[in-house]
Structure 1
Amino acid sequence: MAIKKSELYSSLWATCNELRGGMDASQYKDYVLTMLFVKYVSDKYAGNAMSLIEIPEGASFDDMVKLKGQPDIGDRINKEILRPLFAANGLEGSMELADFNDDEKLGSGKEKVDRLSRLIAIFEHEGLNFKNNRAEDDDILGDAYEFLMRHFATESGKSKGQFYTPAEVSRILAKVINVHKADKPSYTAYDPTCGSGSLLLKVADEAPNGLTLYGQEKDIATKGLAIMNMWLHGYPEASIAGGNTIATPQFKDSETSLKRFDFVVANPPFSVKSWSTGINPMDDTFSRFKGYGVPPDKNGDYAFLLHIISSLKSTGKGAVILPHGVLFRGNAEAGIRKNILQRKWIKGIIGLPANLFYGTGIPACIIVIDKEHADDRKGVFMIDSSKGFIKDGNKNRLREQDLHKIVDTFNNQWELEKYSRLVPYQEIEANEYNLNIPRYIDTQEDEDIQDLNAHLNGGIPQKDIDALEQYWSVYPNLRKDLFSPIREGYSKLNVQKEAIKATIFEHSDFTAYNTELDAIFKAFTERNHSILNGITENTKPKAFLKDISEDLLERYTNKALLSGYDVYQHLLDYWNDTMKDDVYLILEEGWKAKVKRILVKNKSGKEVDKGWTCDLIPKALVINQYLADEQEALNTIEAEIESTQAEITNYTEEHAGEEGLLNEATNDKGAISKTTLTAFIKEIKQQPEEKEALQLATKMLKLFTKETQLKKDLRAQAEKLDQLTLAQYGKLTEAEVRTLVVDHKWLTTLQAAIQTEIDAISQRLTSRIKELGERYDNTLGELDNQTKTLEDQVNKHLEKMGLVWS
C-alpha cells in the first residue's frame, strides 16, 4: 500500500535525526544527502547505457544494501560505492562530502556498523522509489530534498544554516525576473554564491524548457552539495565552480572580462568584512567597481551587487537578497547607490519580513535589476511586504499568499495603499538617493483618535462611521438602520450594543452579499468538479494545483471585504495538510478506499493492533453517508451516559459533604462509588432513622448500575458501528469513492474554510461598531452625575456607620 508523502518525509527526517546522535546537523546532512543521491541516481540510471550518468558495476544503491551489517561497511561504502561512482562521472574530489569511515563522527566498531546499516535501511523504504517518477512534478525527490534541507538548516544554528535559501524566497526571485519568457535551454542563469544550489534550481523551474546553469560556491562541502543537487534535479550538465567569487571569479570570457548571463540571482553572505581579500579593489582586473566606487573595507554587500551587475548581459535581469542597510547607509555606499540609480538599472526593491533566513535574523530586501528596459524607466517600484508572514518555530516564514501577492504586485506594477508604489526618480533624488522603504511607503496604521466633542455631548463621530465605507458600499441600507444623525457631524446608534451582531447578521444587505459570495464558490465548483474527478495516474500534481488554485484566486480577487489571497491560502493550506496526500494516493492506487490496520509498537517492541483506518476517506464520511441511524443510536447512548453522570455528580455535590445524608458513603477521598454505596446501604438497611439516606443511597446505586450498563451498551454499539463501517468500505463503488472524496471531503472542507473568512466580515464590523458605541455611550456630564450619585450613596453608608467628616 502506498504511504502518504507527508508521513514519508516526516518518517525520513525523524529516523535520520534519531541516528544523528551528537553530530552537528550541518555535518550530518552530508551523510543523509549523499545517501539520497546514491539512491536516486541508482534508481534512475543503473543499467541504462544511454544515460548521462554512469553507474559502475558494483557501485549502486543495491550494492550498498549488501554491505549492511558488514564490519568494514564504512570503508567499503567509500571505496566500492562512492569513489567509483564519482570517478565514472568525472567528479573526483568534488562530491566527497562525507567520510563514511569516520570513527569520530559515526562511532567505532558495532556502533558505526549499526548506524550506517540503519541509515541505508531508511532509504530502502518502498515510498522512496525513483525508478518511474519524474522529480519535476512527482515531488517525491523534490519534496524529500526540500524537507530535509529545511530541517537541517533549522537544526544547524545561526552560523551554519547559510547553505540554504528558504524555498519561498527563492521562488520570488525566480518569478520577478521574467524567466518564464526564456523559451530555450540556451538561456543562461548564474548564482555567484550558490550555496547548495536551491535558488538556482528555482530559477530553472520557472523556465518552460530549462536553462543552462552556472554557480560558484566558496565552501568546498557546500559546493559538492550543489553539484549533487543539480544531479538530483536533472541538471547534471550544470557548471558549479569553487573559490571566492569576488577574488577569483571562475566564469570569464577572457582574463579581464567576466562571462555575462541572461539571469543572475544570489543570496550572498550579509555584510562580509573580508570581501576584498585577494584583490586590489582600486585596480580590479574585471573593472567591477569602475564608475561606481569601492565598497567599504568591512562591508561587502555592494561588492556582490556590483559583481552581479557586471555579470549581466545588456539585456540581462537579476535579483539579489541583501540586508536593508544597503538601501540607506551613507559614505562610500551612498555614492555607489547613487551611481547605480542614475543608470536606472534598479527596477524594484522588495522589503521582506525580518527573521526569514537561517544565517541571520535581520530584515532583508530583494533588489531587482533590469538592464534591458533602463532607458524607459521612470522610477523604482517598491514593495513593503514586511508584515506578510507567519511564525514557524523560531523563524518567520512567507505563506503562499504572501509570495503570490508580492509576485503579482511586482510583475503587474500595482500600486496598493500601504504596500507598494512606483517611486519617481525625482523623489529619490530629492531624498539624496536614500532608498529606505519607509520614506516612500507609509505602513503605519491610522491612529484611532478620541473625539472630545462626542465625549462631552454624546453621539458617535461621523468621521468614524465614514471610515467604515468599505462596509457601507456593500451594505448601504445597513448603515441607515444602524445610525441616525443627532447633530451635524454626529450620529446615534439605533440598536442596543447587545443587538449589533444580530442586526448585522440578519440584515437583508448582509444576507444578499453572502448569497453573492456563495454563488462564487458554486461557480468554482461547477468549473472544477470534472478536474477534481479527473485525476488519473497521468495527472501532474503541480499543474493540477496551479489550475484550481489560480481559478479560485481569480474568482475572489477584487471582491469587497474579502482578500482573494486569504481565500487562496485556505486552499494551499488544505493542499499541504491533506489534499496533496490524497492526490498522490489516487495517482498510485486509483479511486479506491483501501483500509489498513493500525499497528503500534509497545514498550517491549511488540506490535499491537489499534484498529483500522483509511487514509483517503475518513470513517466519519462513510458513517454520515451510510450509517447515520447507527451513529445516532451511539450518540443517544452517549447522551444518556452524560445525563446519568450529571445526576450522580449533582447528588454527590449536594449530599456527600460533612452534613450530607451520604457523608458516610464516601471513600477516603470524599468520593462516592458503587462499592461505597453498597457497603453503606448494607450498614443502614435496618436503621429506621436512616430511611431518607437509604432511599437516596438506593437511588444513586441504581444510577451507578445504569451507568455501568450504558457503558456496556456503548461499547457494543461502537463495535457494531465499527464492523458495519468496515464492511461498508468494501461495498463502495468507484463512483461513491469519488463523491465522498471530491464532494464530501475536499469541496466541503474548502467551503467551510472560506466561510470563516465570510463570517469574519460581520465579526470585524460588529466589533468596531460596538467599540464606538461603548466609547461614546455616556457623556462626561452623565459620567459626572453617575459618579456624584455613587459618591452620595457611599457618604450615606459612612454616616450610618458613624463616620462623618466636618
Structure 2
Amino acid sequence: MSEDQKQQLLKQTLWNIANDLRGNMDADDFRDYILGFIFYKYLSRKMELYANEILEPDGLTYDQVEGHTQEDLLLNNIKDFSLEKLGYFLRPDELFSELARRGNAGGKSKFILDDLSKVLTNIEQSTMGSESEEDFGNLFEDLDLTSSKLGKTENAKNELIVKVLSHLETIDFDLENSESDVLGDAYEYLIGQFASGAGKKAGEFYTPQQVSKILAKLVTVDKNKLKNVYDPTCGSGSLLLRVAKEVKEVGEFFGQESNPTTYNLCRMNMIMHEVHYKRFDIYNEDTLVNPSPKHLDMRFEAIVANPPFSATWKPDNIINDDRFSAYGKMAPKSKADFAFVQHMVFQLADNGTMACVLPHGVLFRGAAEGHIRQYLIEDRNYLDAVIGLPANVFYGTSIPTCILVMKKQRTHKDNILFIDASQHFEKVKTQNVLLEEHIEEIIDTYKTRETKDKYSYVATLDEVRENDYNLNIPRYVDTFEEEEPVDLQAVSQELQALEHDINDTDAAIADFCKQLGIDTPF
C-alpha cells in the first residue's frame, strides 16, 4: 500500500470514529477523545517496538514477557531504558492492542473502562521523578472516561469506547518506517479539520498550513539548520513543526500556550512528530503576563507566531518589565497585538528572524501603537518586511491580515520591503486559499527584494518617515487599476439611437391606444 493510500485510509477511519462520537458531543469534545486515543495508540506502539529491540538478544518479544520466569527483572530493565529513551513506560498488558483485544473478546463488548482509565493514569505516573515528568504530566486530563457525553450508562460509555478502539486498531501507523510520517501528517490534518469547523475558537489552536508555510519559509531563508525555534502563542504546535520541515535540523523547540487543552494538544503533537521530549519545552501560562522564566533568559534564532488578534490584556502590573520599558509606551489594553511583537523582539537572537501574523490595524493605528511602531523602525531599525495577506484565509475571521518580518541585524538597513499579496489567492468554497505558486511568489519576492508593479515596493526609510511611520500597504504598493478611457462621442451616438428607438416605441403604443379607444399612458 502506498503512503498516499495509507494516509487516505487513516483519514477515513478517523472520520468514521468522529461520526460515532458526533451524535453525543460537539467538535471540541470529540476532537479531544479522538486525538487522545490516537496518542495512546502511538505511545503503545512505540513502547512495543522499543521493548522488542531491547529483548531481541534474549530471543523474546514484549508480549512474551508476561509470565516469564524473569518477568520482574525484564520489566524493570525495560522501564529504565524506556524512561530515558521514550520518556514513559507501559507494561505489556497496558498496550493499546491489548485493551482493544480485551474489549472485543468473544465478539462482544467487554467492560474495559476502569482498566483504560488506570492505564492512562499509569502512563503519566510512570514519568514521575524522571526528566520527562513535565512533558507528560496531565496529558490525558481532557480524556474524561466518566463523562455523560460518552453515554448515559456505564455500559453505553464502554460500548462507544470499545468501538473507537476497534476502529483505531485496524490501522497500521507504520512506525517502523523512519521515512514515513503518515500518522503525524494525518494527526495534523485532523486538527486542521476540527479547526475549520470550530468557528471563532479555531484560531486558538491552529494556523492554516498555507500561512504556516509562509512564516516557516521566511524565518529559514538561507539557513539549513536552526539552533532553536520559538512560538509564544504556540497553539497545537503546527507552526513550530512546520519550521522543522524547511530545514535539515532544528536543535530545540520552545513554546508557550495559555489554554490547557491546547497546551496538551501541542505536547502530543510534538511527540507524535518524533520530537524527543528533551528537545521541546512547552509552557502553560499567559505569555504576556506570565512568561516562562526559563524562556525569558533565552534568545531564539527563529520566532514564528499567530497571536490572538487584538486580544485584551492587563499591562498595569508589568509596565516596568524589560520587554516593554524601553519603548516608553504600552500597547493598549484592548489590543495586545504590539505587546506580542515587543515580547518576540525581546526574545529574538541577534542573528535571528521573526515572522508574525497580525491584523492590518497594527500598520496604521496611532497613539501608543504608532509610538511603538516608530520606535521599532526609527530607533531600532528592526522591521525588514511587511506582507499583506488575503482576507478570509483564517478560520473564524474574515479580516485581512499581514505578516511583519523583523531582524536585529538587517542586511538591507536603509529600506523596508512591502508586498501586497491580498489579491493573490484561490477561492475554495467560502475560504480563500493561498496556492503553492502564491506562497512561492511571496518568498521569492522577499529573497530578491525587488519592486514589482502592483505587487511589491522597496521603500526607503525616508519614505516611511514621510508617511509618519504609517505602514498601510497601499501607501507604498500602488494597485490602482486605470479604467478604460470612455469614448464620449460614441456614448452620445448611442444615447441618440436610444432616444430614436424610444420615440418609435412611444408612437407605436399611442397608435394601439387610439385603435382601442383608450388614453395613452404618457
Q: Which secondary structure state, in structure 2, belongs to the residue aligned with residue 315 of structure 1? A: strand
Deviates more, 1:339-348 or 1:160-169: 160-169
Q: Deviations over 1:711-733 (max 9, x none)?
A: xxxxxxxxxxxxxxxxxxxxxxx
CA change 1:248–1:804 in 2 (3 A) is closer
Matched, 1:154 2:196: yes
Letter of the structure 2 residue corresponding to residue 30 of structure 1: D
Alignment of 1:201-212 (within 5 A): 201-212=241-252
Residue 17 of structure 1, aligned match among 3, 16, 19: 19
Q: Paired residue for 1:61?
A: 96
Matched, 1:413 2:452: no
Q: Deviations over 1:287-306 (max 9, x none)?
A: 43313521112321111100
Residue 249 of structure 1, aligned match among 269, 275, 291: 291
Matched, 1:123 2:168: yes
Q: Distance in 1 between matches of 2:436 and 2:141?
A: 33
Q: Paired residue for 1:334?
A: 370
Conservation of the 8 A alpha-carbon contact between 1:75 and 1:100: no
Q: CA deviation at 1:432?
A: 1.0
Q: Distance in 2 between matches of 1:788 and 1:393?
A: 48
Conservation of the 8 A alpha-carbon contact between 1:94 and 1:223: no
Count residues in correspondence: 472
Conservation of the 8 A alpha-carbon contact between 1:204 and 1:211: no
Q: CA deviation at 1:280?
A: 2.3
Q: Distance in 2 between matches of 1:378 and 1:18?
A: 59
Q: Distance in 2 between matches of 1:386 and 1:402?
A: 10
Q: Distance in 2 between matches of 1:98 and 1:426?
A: 54
Matched, 1:166 2:166: no
Q: Which secondary structure state, in structure 2, belongs to the residue aligned with residue 159 of structure 1? A: helix
Q: Paired residue for 1:756?
A: none
Conservation of the 8 A alpha-carbon contact between 2:220 and 2:302: no
Q: Paired residue for 2:383?
A: 346
CA change 1:109–1:71 in 2 (3 A) is farther
Q: Paired residue for 2:113?
A: 74
Q: CA deviation at 1:166?
A: 0.8
Alignment of 1:261-340 (within 5 A): 261-276=300-315, 279-281=317-319, 283-284=320-321, 286-291=322-327, 293-340=329-376
Q: CA deviation at 1:214?
A: 0.8
CA change 1:6–1:798 in 2 (3 A) is same
CA change 1:219–1:782 in 2 (3 A) is closer
Q: Paired residue for 1:93?
A: 137
Residue 123 of structure 2, aligned match among 76, 84, 88: 84
**Greater length-normalized contact order (CA 8 Å, ≥ 6 residues apart):** 2
Identical pairs, percent:
35
Q: Paired residue for 2:73?
A: none
Q: Deviations over 1:437-466 (max 9, x none)?
A: 12222334433443202334xxxxxxxxxx
Conservation of the 8 A alpha-carbon contact between 2:219 and 2:303: no
Conservation of the 8 A alpha-carbon contact between 1:31 and 1:97: no
CA change 1:55–1:63 in 2 (3 A) is farther
Q: Distance in 2 between matches of 1:101 and 1:372?
A: 52
Letter of the structure 1 residue corresponding to residue 259 of structure 2: D
Alignment of 1:369-448 (within 5 A): 369-373=406-410, 376-448=412-484
Q: Deviations over 1:272-327 (max 9, x none)?
A: 212427x321x11x343313521112321111100000001112110111111111
Q: Distance in 2 between matches of 1:804 and 1:105?
A: 75
CA change 1:330–1:4 in 2 (3 A) is same
Q: Which secondary structure state, in structure 1, belongs to the residue aligned with residue 386 of structure 2? A: strand
Residue 109 of structure 1, aligned match among 146, 151, 154: 154
Q: Which secondary structure state, in structure 2, belongs to the residue aligned with residue 131 of structure 1? A: coil
Letter of the structure 2 residue corresponding to residue 268 of structure 1: P
Q: CA deviation at 1:177?
A: 1.8
Q: CA deviation at 1:189?
A: 0.7
CA change 1:229–1:454 in 2 (3 A) is same
Letter of the structure 2 residue corresponding to residue 24 of structure 1: D
Letter of the structure 2 residue corresponding to residue 308 of structure 1: M
Q: Paired residue for 2:59?
A: none
Conservation of the 8 A alpha-carbon contact between 2:184 and 2:269: no
Conservation of the 8 A alpha-carbon contact between 1:30 and 1:97: no
Q: CA deviation at 1:780?
A: 4.5
Deviates more, 1:238-247 or 1:60-69: 60-69
CA change 1:798–1:262 in 2 (3 A) is same
Q: Distance in 2 between matches of 1:389 and 1:341?
A: 30
Letter of the structure 1 residue corresponding to residue 249 of structure 2: N
CA change 1:157–1:784 in 2 (3 A) is closer
Letter of the structure 2 residue corresponding to residue 192 of structure 1: P
Q: Paired residue for 1:217?
A: 257
Conservation of the 8 A alpha-carbon contact between 2:205 and 2:262: yes
Q: Deviations over 1:465-486 (max 9, x none)?
A: xxxxxxxxxxxxxxxxxxxxxx
CA change 1:346–1:268 in 2 (3 A) is same
Q: Distance in 1 between matches of 2:122 and 2:22?
A: 24
Q: Distance in 1 between matches of 2:364 and 2:31?
A: 38
Q: Which secondary structure state, in structure 1, belongs to the residue aligned with residue 266 of structure 2? A: helix
Matched, 1:238 2:238: no
- 5+ unaligned residues in a row in structure 2: which ranges? 55-80
Q: CA deviation at 1:396?
A: 3.2
Q: Paired residue for 1:138?
A: 180
Q: Deviations over 1:359-389 (max 9, x none)?
A: 5332221111121216x42222112222233
Q: CA deviation at 1:225?
A: 1.2
Q: CA deviation at 1:160?
A: 5.2
Q: CA deviation at 1:332?
A: 0.8
CA change 1:269–1:86 in 2 (3 A) is farther
Q: CA deviation at 1:198?
A: 0.5
Q: Which secondary structure state, in structure 2, belongs to the residue aligned with residue 347 of structure 1? A: strand
Conservation of the 8 A alpha-carbon contact between 2:44 and 2:90: no
Q: Paired residue for 1:632?
A: none
Q: Paired residue for 1:572?
A: none
Letter of the structure 2 residue corresponding to residue 406 of structure 1: I
Q: Paired residue for 1:356?
A: 393
Conservation of the 8 A alpha-carbon contact between 2:221 and 2:447: no
More helix by share: 1
Conservation of the 8 A alpha-carbon contact between 2:174 and 2:180: no
Letter of the structure 2 residue corresponding to residue 56 of structure 1: L
CA change 1:412–1:419 in 2 (3 A) is same
Q: CA deviation at 1:798?
A: 5.9
Conservation of the 8 A alpha-carbon contact between 2:338 and 2:362: yes
CA change 1:292–1:63 in 2 (3 A) is farther
Q: Paired residue for 2:230?
A: 190
Q: Paired residue for 2:62?
A: none
Q: CA deviation at 1:20?
A: 3.2
Q: Distance in 2 between matches of 1:44 and 1:179?
A: 34
Q: Distance in 2 between matches of 1:13 and 1:170?
A: 24
Q: CA deviation at 1:80?
A: 2.0
Q: Distance in 1 between matches of 2:427 and 2:163?
A: 34
Q: Which secondary structure state, in structure 1, belongs to the residue aligned with residue 201 of structure 2? A: coil
Q: Distance in 1 between matches of 2:191 and 2:39?
A: 13
Q: Distance in 2 between matches of 1:269 and 1:426?
A: 32
Matched, 1:199 2:260: no
Q: CA deviation at 1:230?
A: 0.7
Q: Distance in 1 between matches of 2:470 and 2:459?
A: 12
Larger Rg: 1
CA change 1:782–1:358 in 2 (3 A) is closer
Q: Which secondary structure state, in structure 1, belongs to the residue aligned with residue 234 of structure 2? A: coil
Q: Which secondary structure state, in structure 1, belongs to the residue aligned with residue 326 of structure 2? A: coil
Q: CA deviation at 1:19?
A: 1.6
Q: CA deviation at 1:220?
A: 1.8
Q: Distance in 2 between matches of 1:793 and 1:105?
A: 75
Q: Paired residue for 1:640?
A: none
Q: CA deviation at 1:782?
A: 4.6
Q: Distance in 1 between matches of 2:441 and 2:299?
A: 31
